[in-house]
Chain A
Amino acid sequence: DGGITQSPKYLFRKEGQNVTLSCEQNLNHDAMYWYRQDPGQGLRLIYYSQIVNDFQKGDIAEGYSVSREKKESFPLTVTSAQKNPTAFYLCASSISRTGYEQFFGPGTRLTVL
């Protein structure tokens, strides 16, 4: 089955630690995205990548980092610099940046203890 996967589903982190969230897709999509969702809020774009080895900051990139070494993978690192990291993180992919729907993964809920 083609799709987009995220792991883990739940993640707990101590304050001051970096943590990396995994996102993999086998849809052969060029574009990939990371969003943050807080309760009662819409999706806010953290980073996006239109092609391998290239990525751009979204609206709330501070405290996050990404890499795009392979077309299928777009991991997100939440660093200790992120002041309020507890949230639901969603990864998505699309055929290209514009004009096509985004397919979302199941999400990772990160809780900072």
Chain B
Amino acid sequence: GESVGLHLPTLSVQEGDNSIINCAYSNSASDYFIWYKQESGKGPQFIIDIRSNMDKRQGQRVTVLLNKTVKHLSLQIAATQPGDSAVYFCAENWGRDDKIIFGKGTRLHILP
């Protein structure tokens, strides 16, 4: 089906540790993927994107990995900080009708 899902709804990580948020997508035709961060009561904020011709892309403290073989996307956040507490969700651009499908999100808690 056309769905973008997440393996864990809530993730708690110690401040300073690295965190990994996972996302499974179902459509092998999807060719563009985005990670967003949403803080409480605010609109989603773009973090990083990756196109299907790549398997890794790095930003500032964040890395996105794309495994097309198993249709899996992950977001790695290095040295997590209190400000990283938010809901993170992935989105896929489904080429068939140009839809962008958003996942439900994973809430990341940063423990002091």
Contact = CB atoms under 8 A, between A and B. Distances in A.
Sort A-B residue pairs by CB-CB distance and give the 7 closest, nearest first: A104-B43, A42-B104, A43-B102, A98-B98, A42-B102, A101-B46, A104-B44
Contact of A102 (B4, B95, B100, B105): B100
B103 A98 contact: no
Contact of A106 (B34, B42, B46, B49): B42
Interface of B: 4, 31-32, 34, 36, 41-46, 49, 89, 93, 95, 98-100, 102-105
DSSP majority for the A interface? Answer: loop
Given A42-B104, A98-B32, A98-B98, A104 B93 contact: no
B43 A107 contact: yes
Nearest to A104: B43
Interface in A68-113: 90, 92, 97-99, 101-107, 109
Interface of A: 6, 35, 40-43, 45, 90, 92, 97-99, 101-107, 109
A91 B102 CA distance: 14
Contacts of A103: 46
Contacts of A40: 104
A6, A41, A92, A99 pick with most chain B CB within 10 angstroms: A99
Contacts, number: 44
Contacts of A106: 42-43
Contacts of A107: 41-43
Nearest to B6: A42
A81 B31 CA distance: 37
B59 to A, nearest CB: 13
Contacts of A45: 99
